[in-house]
Structure 1
Amino acid sequence: MYNVKAYSAASAASPLASATIPRRDPTESDVQIEILFCGICHSDVHQVRNEWSSVMPTVYPIVPGHEIVGRVTQVGSAVTKYQPGDLAAVGCLVDSDRTCPQCQAGFEQFCPNLTLTFNGMDKHLGGVTYGGYSASIVVDERFVLRVPANLDLAGVAPLLCAGITTYSPMRHWGVTQGQKVGVVGLGGLGHMGVKFAHALGAQVVVFTTSPGKKEDALRLGADAVVVSRNPDEMQKHTGSFDFILDTISADHDINAYINLLRRDGNITLVGAPSKPLHVSAFSLIMGRRSLSGSNIGGIAETQEMLDFCGEHNLTADVEVIPIQKVNEAYERLLKSDVKYRFCIDMASLKSE
């Protein structure tokens, strides 16, 4: 075991502050990674402030961060895919039971015994796992990902959550060239949804409540922008979409978007409103439409996504900050004051 610098919160009301945490010595199957960049996800804020206490209560102290990019510094004797000096990444998962039907099918994200990158059960050291707001991390080789060398590393970090969260449902529902795809919301998730749909060859329409976002949506790859508060604009697209990705976490009228689907079209939720959505059965029945949800992706699919990004030169739009500004970034994130993700330059941790 060895100790590393990190930023942690001592309670739900505490700010993140400099700390020291333990890491396990690499076992024969482990990869040790010096963390270069770590993205800030909205779920970091929820868990630091224990806002998901009914589902996954936070254990303190907590070190968040599951959008990790770094460089391999040491590997175990049985590791075959990585060597010191390689670029590597870690997402939301650092282990699973590997034997359940979900794992066998490559869907580790649905494993009933998965280990989250932070605030999960640490079977090696006891207590809970600590995430990427730290100098280094040790992860089993099976849960480490390769990073395309041509991509900006700061922009890669959010791909480990926002990227795979939007890529996975598009792949599952077969988004391809010539289809009409809608993206509801243009935030951390939505901006990646636009980039992926455009790269897959779809005709992309962004739905937003903010007319001022039109120029940025077009820059990101949208072919058209609809102000969703305008019923006439919405009406023009009735029954025309093959697929819609809904990234909104606030309460909204889901039926307004279901009605935009063609026959057999699908709308997938990746945002998670706190209140149940009211769904009209007739909106689904009359066009054999479907409503579904999606949650990140398995390890193989996440690697596929990173490779796809390498081929198409795709990364997240990020604002890079030093770790000393992380509490300020949390407050700005809650105000949607970022385009479109924060990413921590972990070199700043060395000055602590």
Structure 2
Amino acid sequence: MAGLRRRQLGASGPEVSIIGLGAMGMSDLYGPADEAESVATLHAAIDAGVNLVDTADFYGSGHNEMLIGRVLRERRRDEVVLSVKFGARRTPDGGFQAAPYDVSAAAVKDRLAYSLRRLGTDYIDIYRPSRLNPQVPIEETVGALLEMREAGYIRHIGLSEMGADTIRRAAAVAPISDLQIEYSLLSRGPEATILPTLRELGIGLTAYGVLSRGLLSGHWSAERELTGTDFRANSPRFQGEHLSANLRLVDALGRVAQRLGATTGQVAIAWVAAQGEQIVPLVGARRRDRLTESLGAVDVVLDRDTLDEIERAVPAGAASGQRYATPMMSLLDSEK
């Protein structure tokens, strides 16, 4: 795996591994995690050739950055392309404060200062607002990010969950490396207007939720219980009839995977990677065994006939239930 293929993140972005690692679940939102195993998984990913690691200052209220910083102290800095989001605000009990997201020019500089300290680095490779705040012009946010890039504190400017019009306005202020957005066989929304806009402007896409938060992994069952700290307990796609309908789609995908001699999750990841050279899937592996399985997706070859077979198994728009609960959906510029 040391020779893991690389892709360019847009016309102006860095060269990154064809699969990146999303570290959120090591600190937050998916229930308890084993910190020692998380550290071991981060090291294993870098050893395997994964250089893109994605986090946010609000994952675990800073814990995730400190966890990654612990790993960075034992690696060469140039082994890792750090992607960091900011903007969401937490409460002492582990909850999230109500929107709007804090993405003002002042917040850019303040939040960046704390991230640099927690990560133990003097620069972040890609820094991005986690969501749009309609009360803060995107030009203000990107203008402050441009200042930080010119000062050397960040190397590239990214976006997250933003619609086509906002992407165009941002790109008019400064080069944008990539948009981070949920994209999977069960979340095909970006295909309508966002992906064409990114291709036109030479902007990459880092896709999170490629396994639809575990639904497409092939390891999920209708009997699995979710704790109160796992946000999937309130996710529509994991509830009742929605879950049953989605698991039927997963079963159909599993039959394709079986024919290919791959796992269901590997085929789901490979499908995302096959949608364009500017797309890089992020996998949320929290354990080394799951990481090894996910990286096996790079060996799954999907020809045109197989892609058509996958489309029949999981057609666009077939997912049952929204990807977030309604209050969270209302905050997504990418869904408007």
The two structures have a TM-score, normalised by structure 1, of: 0.27
TM (norm. structure 2) is 0.28
Q: Is the radius of gyration larger for structure 1 or structure 2?
A: 1
Q: Which has the higher contact order (CA 8 A, sep 6+)?
A: 2
Choose between structure 1 and 2: higher helix proportion.
2
